[in-house]
Structure 1
Amino acid sequence: MVRGRITGLAVSDVRFPTSLGHHGSDAMHPDPDYSAAYVVIETDARDGLKGYGLTFTLGKGTEVVVCAVNALSIHVVNKDLEEIVSDFRGFYRQLTSDGQLRWIGPEKGAVHLATAAVLNAVWDLWAKQEGKDPKQLLSCIDFRYITDALTEEEACGKSSFCQDRSPYSLSCFLFQWDYSSSRALLFKYSKMAYLGRRKELCTEALKDGWTRFKVKVGANLPDDIRRCRLIREMIGPDKTLMLDANQRWEVKEAIEWVTKLAEFKPLWIEEPTSPDDILGHAAISKALAPLGIGVATGEQCHNRVIFKQLLQAKALSYLQIDSCRLGSVNENLSVLLMAKKFQIPVCPHAGGVGLCELVQHLIIFDYISVSGSLENRMCEYVDHLHEHFKYPAIIKKASYVPPQDAGYSTEMKEESARKYQFPQGEVWQKILSKP
């Protein structure tokens, strides 16, 4: 029995000063402060049940998302959890179709990021309950605007979680895992500025069993060639190399630049151009296919409609969902199902603040209850900021260990959320007080 009335929703701006060490920087984002709009939903349940959610941001702008979360809270507070989950599709539409808020961003931008934070908290809350029917998952998906690619009836026919094929489908839905290790593959990438440090990181990663490595490119071609050569020489011909341009190039420029890097045998080029340019991605994908290089994108895709068009246009070879860019589990489920229909492997985007914690649930769910395949699939991992979470993602032998605790792994440690709250937290008070 789903229980609990939502009595309050609090949101805070939690920032980590990663820009001080240029961690996470790339050709388009030189000074990111990895941040989160962090949501806590309280209920009147006797056991003090709470839901925790977040959306990933890069510092400035987090306050805009916080304002958007507060604006959305009117749709959440004073509702029974049972009322929400019994018509989760309707609740999703209520958040994404607010007549006034959608004007500044219909399922994109700050409002959609805020929606992800709120819905992630609701899923965390719901996942801590028991007795769910896996077939309820389809009722959470909004099929509006994607029925020309995938209908609800078609999804039910293709999805294993509608057929109860997997013995893990129920535990997957609850985000509780009753097996101790995962076969999901992933990669680790180096972001450090110095080649010596890159060598050190590669050596450590190879020793730990990593087989897939990503290199940031796009700012300077000679430097890209030098770094790609270094990484390829270190990892050898059998390990996988991937490139990430973070939306740096024009379409023609992307084709020319990546062609010059083809000698290093990259598996893909990630985000070669604007994430909104479906036809541009299609042109790049077509041009690079003879070189054996695929196009990967998705971490900046605003909604399921963009993914639908990318798939229909054959514009990508690897689909990168993001647990905070889309409207939480609800929207990601629709994308997983479309990816299965179009036979495109899902390789989630992670890193940031809490993204690994969140997306591990989605990729394991995709394997167990949607795709049933590990072919050409991997899940990104970055080894920082996990210490701030109560249930951090765990990696063993270069693989995610499935979470053992119910929930969406989104709960931060209270001390971390307090110390890094912007601008009044202890850490930021020290930084901001410096001349």
Structure 2
Amino acid sequence: MVGCGPLFSGVSHAVSGADWTFTENNMPQKIVKLTVKDVRFPTSLGQHGSDAMHTDPDYSVAYVVIETDGGMKGYGLTFTVGRGTEVVVCAVKALSGFVVGKTLEEIVGDFSGYYRLLTSDGQMRWIGPEKGVIQLATAAVLNAVWDLWARAEGKPLWKLLVDMSPEQLVSCIDFRYITDALTEQEALDLLRKAQTGKTEREEQMLKEGYPAYTTSCAWLGYSDQQLTQLCTDALASGWSRFKVKVGAELEDDERRCRLIRQMIGPDKTLMIDANQRWDVGEAISWVTSLAPFRPLWIEEPTSPDDILGHATISKALAPLGIGVASGEQCHNRVMFKQFLQASALQFVQIDSCRLGSVNENLAVLLMAHKFQVPVCPHAGGVGLCELVQHLILFDYISVSADLNNRMCEYVDHLHEHFTSPVVIRSAHYLPPKDPGYSCEMLESSVETHQFPGGEVWANLLAKAPE
């Protein structure tokens, strides 16, 4: 276990009014234990989640539980697609020394400082910094901390955020490297402006929910028959926004997009997602061929790190009325800053586990609002819908106050493994009511799907050819 020095105190806030008040009733004691488990689901057997780049994903999580000496627990996770989860587990263990021994009051009392502490260790930073496996692990740990905090306050995470003052929210953000795009004062001004009408927007979300789109109908590995049936079922359930995986073969993409567009009609929304499959020129040519099916966006058309490539694609596709969306594999707030500065994205797709948990997502939500680019989060996977619903509810209520061209991804896989699964009604996310960040899994699911010794995997591996 890695040792931990004093709480980093190098970040000072120019804002006032960010003080926290804790009582013995709502503040758990010291964090005394962190456990992490490799939990995998064999989704590749049914081609669920398959796309042009990830042809055989086994949806998985590095699942974190933190415990206090007061008996409270916080739950967090980070999403993977199978092999490599064990590497994330090792990274979580390496970070555990920064968590065990702290009180929640110490952490959230200077949350931006704690975030920087977790991401700035003089040696472990070398294997990041703030990207890759180490950032996935950071997200898992901090997701558990935020879950613990929300539970301590007796609120769902979205409500904890909505009830914070602008000063308190800003005190959670590390502004290092992004002040050329968003300063603390600008963030405060945006949040203060959004205070108007906040109560009405919260009531609206509680009544109507947040609009969602579905990716479940058109995974790349699905047959036309399966796609047709799932699309028919989705239409009957009130879905009006559909995403199709593309990028393997152009003729196949044209056939599948034509089939979906014919089924959903001209007025419903279609998006396409290539999962990083193409070079820049290839992306422009391929999407131009699919333009007759009127996609709202092309998602991840090229390398997720190629900011200027995305800008080139965006400029080329603008006359066709097709935007570019990306973000599920965008490493950190700095890359999002550059995407926005370069006008390389028309839709920002935050992810609850790729970025450094809520803290870094707050920064991206505020930058997106300043640049007037709609946020349409990435979800699906294992637990991503459960997590990101909190962030997008907060964004609408406390930041953007806008639903134009905004929607949150939904995939109907694996929610039965959570104690507080998402609730979808009429293709809308209904706000969670249970305290926490909605990522606590059923103990039985964790045990049977733990890799490699859980019952599900022990049986599968026993049947596998040598």
Give your verdict on TM over 0.5: yes
Note the 1:22-421 alignment, pairs <5 A.
22-45=47-70, 48-130=71-153, 134-135=164-165, 136-160=168-192, 163=195, 166-167=198-199, 179-190=206-217, 191=219, 192-421=221-450
Instruction: Give the Cα–Cα distance (whole angstroms) in 2 for the partners of residues 187 and 138 of structure 1.
Output: 33
SS of residue paired to 1:184: strand
- Deviations 1:179-224 (CA, angstroms, capped at 9, x unpaired): 3541434334421521011111111111111011111111100000
TM-superposed CA distance for 1:165, in Å, is: 5.5
Query: 1:3 — aligned with what?
Result: 28
> Does the C-alpha gap of structure 1 residues 83 and 142 become closer, same or farther in structure 2, counting only changes over 3 Å?
same
Number of residues of Structure 1 aligned to a counterpart in Structure 2: 428
CA–CA separation in structure 1 for the residues paired with 2:285 and 2:82: 33
Q: What whole-Å deviation, never above 9, does each CA across 1:55-103 have from its counterpart, x for those lacking one?
A: 0001110000000000000000011110001011111001111111110
Partners of 1:358 and 1:152 in 2: CA distance: 26
Q: How far apart, CA to CA, are the structure 2 residues paired with 1:24 and 1:399?
A: 21
Measure how far apart 1:166 and its partner are: 2.1
For 2:184, give the aligned amino acid.
E
Q: Return the alpha-carbon distance in structure 1 between the equivalents of residues 136 and 245 of structure 2.
A: 25
Q: Is the 8 A contact 2:194 2:400 kept in 1?
A: no
What do you get for the CA RMSD once the two structures are aligned?
1.7
Of 422, 438, 455, which residue of structure 2 is paired with 1:426?
A: 455
* Contact 1:27/1:218 (<8 A) preserved: yes
Distance 1:194 1:113 in 2: 33
Over the matched positions of the two proteins, sequence identity in percent amounts to 70
SS in structure 1 of the partner of residue 108 of structure 2 = helix
CA deviations 1:345-371 (Å, max 9, x no partner) are 000000000000000001111010000
- More off after superposition, 397-406 vs 246-255: 397-406
Shift in Å, 1:164: 7.3
SS of equivalent to 2:152: coil
Residue deviations 1:121-178 (CA, integer Å, cap 9, x gap): 0000001122976121211101010000000111000114884762389x99xxxx99
* Distance of aligned partners of 1:184 and 1:116 in 2 relative to their CA distance in 1, 3 Å threshold: same
1:306 shift after superposition: 0.5
Deviations along 1:408-430, one digit per CA (max 9) or x if unpaired, are 00100000001000011111110
What's the CA shift string for 1:274-311, capped at 9, x where partnerless?
01000000000000000000000000000000000000
CA distance in 1, matches of 2:310, 2:320: 16
- Whether the 8 Å contact between 1:181 and 1:402 is mirrored in structure 2 is no
Q: What is the Cα deviation at residue 105 of structure 1?
A: 1.1
- CA deviations on 1:307-363 (whole Å, 9 max, x unpaired) are 000000000100000000000000000000000000000000000000000000011
For 1:147 and 1:162, how far apart are their aligned partners in 2?
A: 21
- Give 2:337's aligned amino acid: K
Alpha-carbon separation, structure 2, partners of 1:189 and 1:33 = 15
Question: How big is each residue's C-alpha offset from its partner over 1:244-277, in whole Å with a ceiling of 9 and x where there is no partner?
Answer: 0000000000000000000101000000000100
TM-score in terms of structure 1 length: 0.95
3-state secondary structure, aligned to 1:60? coil
Letter paired with 1:158: L
Give 3-state SS (helix, strand or coil) of 1:14's partner: strand
Which letter does structure 2 place at the counterpart of 1:301?
C
Cα distance in 2, alignment partners of residues 183 and 316 from structure 1: 22
- CA distance in 1 between counterparts of 2:406 and 2:199 reads 22
Q: Is contact 2:210–2:407 with CA below 8 Å preserved after alignment?
A: no
Classify the secondary structure of the residue corresponding to 2:102: coil
* Equivalent AA in structure 2 for residue 143 of structure 1: F
Q: Give the CA deviation at 1:393.
A: 0.5
Tell me if structure 2 keeps the 8 A contact 1:279–1:313: yes
Describe the SS at the equivalent of 2:171: helix
SS at match of 1:332: helix
CA contact (8 A) 1:161 1:369 kept: no
TM-score between both structures, scaled by the size of structure 2 = 0.89
Cα distance in 1 for residues equivalent to 2:397 and 2:411: 23
